[in-house]
A and B are shown apart, each in its own frame.
Chain A
Amino acid sequence: MRNNKGRIDSILLMAAMAISFLGIVFVYSATHNRSGDNLFLNPMAIKQCMWCLVGFVLLFLIARADYLRMLDMAYLAYGLNLVALLFLLFFGDVHYGAKRWIDLGPIAIQPSEFVKITAILALAAFLGERRERTGSFSNFVLGLGVIMPAFLLIFLQPDLGTSLVLIPIVFAVLYVCGEKIKYIIPVIVAGICSTPFLWSLLKDYQKNRLLVFLNPDLDPLGAGYTIIQSKIAIGSGGLLGKGLFNGTQSYLKFLPEKHTDFIFSVIGEEWGYVGAATLLFLYTVLIARGLRIISKTEDVCGKAIATGIVTLIAFQVFVNIAMTIGFMPVVGLPLPAISYGGSNTIVTLIGVGFLLSISRKVE
């Protein structure tokens, strides 16, 4: 096939592999119990391994395929995803005050994770179809409209973090794909001005998290506990850290959610500033290669997909790490391809797969 000639961006691929590998190592470190278990007997680490495997299989399949062909199914995938979210809203079981998982026997999937990708694809397909009208007001409004149902359904779950992630994505994509700044800026400003209204829509625990972000000592054993313990973990890591598998904060269970949303605290504690900076460097490589792909792609669809995925990964990295060092309120966003969980890992690797697929066309 004519479209399959280009080479894969191997730097991007290696960065993704290194990040996924660190994910497995630190899921193990966060959940091990010192009494002689090893990497291959730890159930969490094994599951994370499997998900990475699944993720990389999908990554290679997507990388080898033509992303434009796959866009034909974008609306269908997005539609099914929205149906799943709607189903959750009415029939989902409540975990941690929200309905997030669809139980499929041995595994449970999180439609809100997958919608990050399907929404980007749907938006790309939409912008591709209307490439002649780029810059028009209708294109801008309808572009926002494509994302809106996903945003609302997730917000109602309620999952503040995931719903918020869609906002920078949609604006970044619309901006990079040439929509008018004079439309984009007023909407962003209006959004900021309406935050007091949004406040009233938040659940009590969400309000608590935001208040506690402003002052963690407000409730040191409740909502503020996680922030305080996470900062202690990362801060006590110092320059070089306490050594792999030697973190006391995580091992002694002072850190809640240490293998999921707060896995970065374990990395910061055990590997110190050097380790944290190394991980940041790997993400920077990933993001920089993604940006390079965006700038080289002429195709609107490719640009849209790549922009969406790069923004998705960067935004999640930023919010997650800033949250663990207390620079941002606690919102449940995972660290891409590191935090324990199938949906997060697979979605991130699928995203990287699309980046690779686009890269083959420009190389």
Chain B
Amino acid sequence: MSRLPTLLALAGLLAAAAVLGLAFGSAESPTREIVLEIRLPRVVLGMLVGAGLATAGALLQALLQNPLADPFLLGISGGAALGGVAAVALGGGALLGLSVPALAFAGALGATALLYAIAAAGGRAPAHSLLLTGVVFNAFASSVIVFLTTAVELNRVAGVFLWLIGSIRLVDDAMIACVAALIGLGLGVGLYYAYSLNLLTQGDEAAAHLGVDVPRVRRHVLLATALMIGASVAVSGIVGFVGLIVPHLLRLVVGADHRVLIPASALFGAALVTSADTLARTVLAPTELPVGAFTALIGGPLFLWLLRRELSR
């Protein structure tokens, strides 16, 4: 399928998701203020988080040469969450402070480095060692998070946990701008290296034979991935499976060329999380469900199906 019509169709899908996100919510006859000051930032954040996680997933899958990679399953989101909670617990500052994205980024980067050191030392990483490292790191991060929350004032613990299971929080405009800048930067780096990533999926050695400076591409793309995951987690906690589902579904439609797959993942990821967040706000209104619960509802079974297919190969 040619790239432009596909990308335009996905942009249309995203526009529709945004309009629905603005039109529906807990208020039945929303005022202009509700739409502009509550729903609009939510929709914008949903788009950013979705684009960031889906793009990060596509980049990780190429880097690890493994289509089962996902920021959540590999523990990178967990590392970011650990950083975020540490910022709240140790800094004592508001959850909105810029120390949260900074430490979330540090956590994401640390988890990625660990993943590399343990599971992917030789370039190509077998699915089981990646997933095992992710499971163990997630368990470790959760324990540390529990430990850290004992340092958080009691009346804010519930907020921290709601954030952890993946819910988009309303933040001020400066924070939205910061998240947009980080995710935009990561997306830019991903697009710049899109063709090199095609070559990298052929294996580190094959990519080097085709003229790719593998260590440099790997370093830059990993940084971009950690930036996007850190920024996403800072405002939405752990929204799982987006990075897995989106590139997978899109590969069935647009193929494996990252020059199309990366922009398509950003658009489709944005549409998916925006829609999931609209559902999370409306199905049980006025009670709000965490958006992470919705993505996991679709992503969990899909992942198991993919895993079974992968293992039977």
Do A and B originate from a single complex? no
